[in-house]
Amino acid sequence: MNVLILEDEPLIAQGLAREVRAHFGARLRNLVLHDNVPQALAALAQEQGQEQVDLLLLDLHLHGADGYELLRQVRHAPFQTIIVSAHAERSITAFEFGVLDFVAKPFSRERLHKALQRYTERHAQAASLAVKKRGALEWIAMAEIDHVQADGHYSNIVLRSGERCFHDLPIDKLMALLPPHFLRVHRSYLVNSLGFKRLQIAAGGKYALDTQTSTGIPVSRSSYPALKRRLLG
């Protein structure tokens, strides 16, 4: 996914970037920071011909310019917007633009991640994937997927119902099609983090993950720290 941060205070911009990277992890393809409206408009126009911005984190007061003015000029663009501003009294206006969330400054890490998670969940509800089930091609909602297991040049998909289906892409390429809340916990496994239940720690430094549907999904040592942070919130 592609994220654009429009913030004119460097320390806040860097903090936002850090938390965006932490939240989306490997799903984050491109992160761009700008500090004024003309730069951001130029970047958005450029992206429309290439990879479109998926999420905009927007300050409202930018060197005298108004962040809402940017939204007026790109009103029909397909990205979602989270406003991050010290001017909470202007939050009502955000609803006119269909803003996903309004995070008031100063904000906590937990409050920002709640807003980012709202984007993740909305994206998951809207997205779907074409898979092969019972010899036919069907569309399934991303939210139905429990985990994905590599199978050579293909991928086996386990649904939350316990049903299994098949995708003809290898797991590395399939990962690029999935929302940010699907985490690579092992070289052979992708797991829907919205269904996490329990992380098992066995003797010898071996880890395994239980979801609402499956148990004993292997977790690599390199994936364990990030997975632990996600489980602890």
Query: How does residue 220 score in pLDDT terms, banded at 50, 70 and 90?
Result: very high
Burial class (CB in 10 A: 0-12, 13-18, 19+), 182: buried
The mean predicted confidence, pLDDT, of the chain is: 87
Question: DSSP code of 124?
Answer: H
Residue 51 has pLDDT above 70, yes or no: no
Question: DSSP code of 66?
Answer: E
The predicted-structure confidence for 178-215, as pLDDT tens digits, reads as follows 877 788 999 999 999 888 888 888 777 789 999 989 99
Long-range contact set of residues 184-187: C-beta below 8 Å, sequence gap at least 24: 184/26, 184/223, 185/209, 185/217, 185/218, 185/219, 185/220, 185/223, 185/227, 186/217, 186/218, 186/219, 186/220, 186/223, 187/150, 187/220
The predicted-structure confidence for 144-164, as pLDDT tens digits, reads as follows 899 999 999 899 999 999 999
The predicted-structure confidence for 34-47, as pLDDT tens digits, reads as follows 999 988 888 777 64
130-232 falls under which CATH superfamily? LytTr DNA-binding domain (2.40.50.1020)
Q: Domain 2-125 maps to which CATH number in 3.40.50.2300, 3.40.50.620, 3.40.50.720, 3.30.70.270?
A: 3.40.50.2300
Residue 47: predicted pLDDT: 46
Query: How does residue 173 score in pLDDT terms, banded at 50, 70 and 90?
Result: confident
Residue 48: predicted pLDDT: 44
Determine how many CB atoms are found less than 10 A away from the CB of residue 14.
13
**% of the chain beyond a pLDDT of 90:** 46
Delimit the domains of the chain by residue range.
2-125, 130-232
Candidate from 21-35, 126-140, 155-169 with smallest mean pLDDT: 126-140
CA 92 – CA 152 distance, rounded (Å)? 51
Residue 116 has pLDDT above 80, yes or no: yes
**Under a CB-based contact definition with an 8 Å cutoff, are residues 131 and 138 in contact?**
yes
